[in-house]
Amino acid sequence: MSRLIFILNGPNLNLLGKRQPHIYGHETMADVEAMCRAEAAKHNIEVRFHQTNREYEMIDWIHEARESAGGILINSAAFTHTSVAVLDALNTFDGPVIECHISQVHKREAFRHHSYVSMRADAVLAGFGTQGYVLGVQRLAFLINAAEKAAKK
Ligand code: CA2
């Protein structure tokens, strides 16, 4: 199994750390990327890290992950609650998918309680702040290692 993971971030997350720190904290996307890369390096995992405000770009990266990645960690932001297209793309990916939300979405508005992505995700992290990304990377590394071991048997 590939030791490359894709970490994909949806709309408005480029503003992380710059607005609404009471909800999303003070770290920026660049800080989150650095945290993910540091954690991945501990597990000998390579990272592609992307953020987009465009649904088609998110879908294209999921298609790219099909060809090369051992797992996906995704914070699809508002697309989580609206996008059948992102769900359809994730359903074409064979490896583990972990959904991550910085905030505890179930404590927030009712429209954030439903996630299309959760219909595909193997695990969901919500409310861990940006630490959730680190936990997601750890879990993907564990699953990739387990799959490698199983393949050797
Ligand atoms: O909690 C999360 O990570 C969310 O995925 C964030 C999305 C929201 O639509 C989801 O319901 C939950 C919003 C991302 C917007 O990010 C911003 C960050 C800072 C300032 C403004 C927006």
Residue 41 has pLDDT above 90, yes or no: yes
How far apart are the two ends of the chain, measured CA to CA in Å?
Answer: 14
* Assigned token pair, 20: 């609404």
* Confidence (pLDDT) at 20: 87
Q: Residue 4: helix, strand or coil by DSSP?
A: strand
More confident residue, 20 or 118: 118
Listed in sequence order, the DSSP H helices in 14-83 are: 21-24, 29-42, 55-68, 79-82
Whether 66 has a pLDDT exceeding 90, the answer reads: yes
Q: Is pLDDT at 72 greater than 90 in this prediction?
A: yes
Ligand 1 geometric centre to CA of 33 (Å) = 16
Determine contact, residues 36/7, Cβ cutoff 8 Å: yes
pLDDT tens profile 93-143: 999 999 999 999 999 999 999 999 999 999 999 999 999 999 999 999 999
Q: Which of 24, 113, 114, 116 is catalytic?
A: 24
Residue 26 designated active-site: no
Q: Which pLDDT belongs to residue 25?
A: 87
CA 66 remoteness from chain centre:
15
Please check the confidence at residue 1 and state whether its pLDDT lies above 90.
no
pTM of the model: 0.98
Structure tokens at 121: 């995700």
What pLDDT score was predicted for residue 19? 84
Check if 15 has its Cβ closer than 6 Å to any atom of ligand 1.
yes
Ligand 1 centroid from CA 147, angstroms: 32
Given a cut of 90, whether residue 65 has pLDDT beyond it is yes
Say yes or no to pLDDT of 69 above 90.
yes
Bridge-based pairing of strands 46-51 and 71-75 is unpaired
Per the structure block, which two tokens stand in for 62?
């999921």
DSSP string, 69-114: -SEEEEE-TTHHHH-HHHHHHHTT--S-EEEEESS-GGGS-GGGS-
Q: Residue 148 — pLDDT band, cuts 50, 70, 90?
A: very high
